[in-house]
Homo-oligomer: A and B are copies of this chain.
Amino acid sequence: MPEDLRNRVDRQPTVAGLSESDLLARIFPRLRMAGSHTASTLLGPGDDAAIVAAPDGRAVVSIDTQVQDQDFRLLWPNGYRTTGFDVGWKAAAQNLSDINAMGATATSMVVSLTLPVDTPVSWVEDLADGLRAGIQALGATGCSVAGGDLGRGREISVTVAVLGSLDGGRAVLRSGARPGDILALAGTVGHAAAGLALLESGIAADTLGPAERIYPELQCRPRPPLWAGPAARAAGATAMLDISDGLLRDGHRLAAASNVAVDLDPARLAHLAELLRPAATLLDADPAPWVLAGGEDHGLLATFPAGIQLPPGFTAIGSVHALGTDEGPGVLIAGRAADTGGWDHFAH
């Protein structure tokens, strides 16, 4: 654990003083949800495995890890301290987004926590609170934490595996986009990237105004549009994925899987950039790279057959083209090749 957090918490009880079962006993009551959230969990924590309902005979499944100093910093340059609540919320949000991007709804999560021995117990309790609050606030009705695992390590690491249900319907894959389709967006892009820039700036967190504060808040506690995935599927979306690594990079993935070109409308990109103006002004920065390469908002990028009405919350931002001779799949802006960009865990 970095010095700054250690100093701050020196007098707090740490996980070193608790057995695994003691610590689980502190966490699981905080993950307990009421009512419809637990409907899918047939057997919850406490045995070798959990049992989750998969009503249509299929389970959608995804896994994602957040690591300290890679996916979050405990202390940011602008003075903001990442809370356990933030990390729990973000772990929930990222994983719920993967289920959303298939057009499915989440039914349960299992969570594996790796903790340095000097992690304050209160930080871990906050993480459990953040997981629960994220699931609830994002509207993942029917989803709860069905089980988990705890272990030691030198850095904090949180892995969530999430299960979802397609409720008897088809999944919306990345590979179904067809020439002539409309390219549409639900949720935001670039907000988390603008937030990252603010967190990494010299501008003190507590001097941010309400219009600027939304960006770091979305970096720390993303709000994927969980209503949009099932709605897109119902409306006939042909392809979909969540924008976790940037519009260009994720757009390229969709294009490559579908063997098409996706062409972004510059007027729509300019509008998306305008939404980032307060952060751009404060930092004297160009918001365009945030729009094109900023990940972690977990908006949905989807394609729909031309002529259908887009589901509420989706906005057209471009179109799908057939590949010309010698043209590879990729992202265009107003018909011209755009460079791929965005976040990559290894090569940057």
Contacts and interface: CB of A to CB of B under 8 A. Distances in A.
Top 5 A-B residue pairs of the complex, sorted by shortest distance between their CB atoms = A161-B161, A54-B54, A49-B62, A48-B101, A19-B347
A154 interface: yes
Interface in A67-108: 67, 69-71, 97-99, 101-102, 104, 108
A57 B53 contact: yes
A344 B161 contact: no
A86 B248 CA distance: 38
A19 B48 CA distance: 36
A275 B71 CA distance: 47
A65 B164 contact: no
A138 interface: no
Given A58-B54, A61-B147, A47 B102 contact: yes
A67 to B, nearest CB: 4
Contact of A58 (B17, B52, B97, B152): B52
Interface string A142-155: 00001111111111
A174 interface: yes
B57 A54 contact: yes
Protomer copies: 2
A33 interface: no
Nearest to A110: B63
Contacts of A117: 346
A55 interface: yes
A205 interface: no
Nearest to A54: B54
Given A19-B346, A43-B173, A159-B159, A53 B61 contact: no
Given A57-B53, A57-B55, A67-B153, A20 B345 contact: yes
A122 interface: no
Interface of A: 15-23, 42-43, 46-65, 67, 69-71, 97-99, 101-102, 104, 108, 110-112, 114, 117, 146-155, 157, 159, 161-164, 166, 171, 173-175, 241-242, 257, 344-347
Contact of A346 (B18, B71, B242): B18
B47 A241 contact: yes
Contacts of A64: 112, 149
Given A20-B346, A60-B50, A67 B110 contact: no
B102 A49 contact: yes
Contacts of A110: 61-63, 161
A345 B113 CA distance: 12
Contact of A49 (B65, B104, B150, B345): B104
B241 A147 contact: no
Nearest to A157: B157
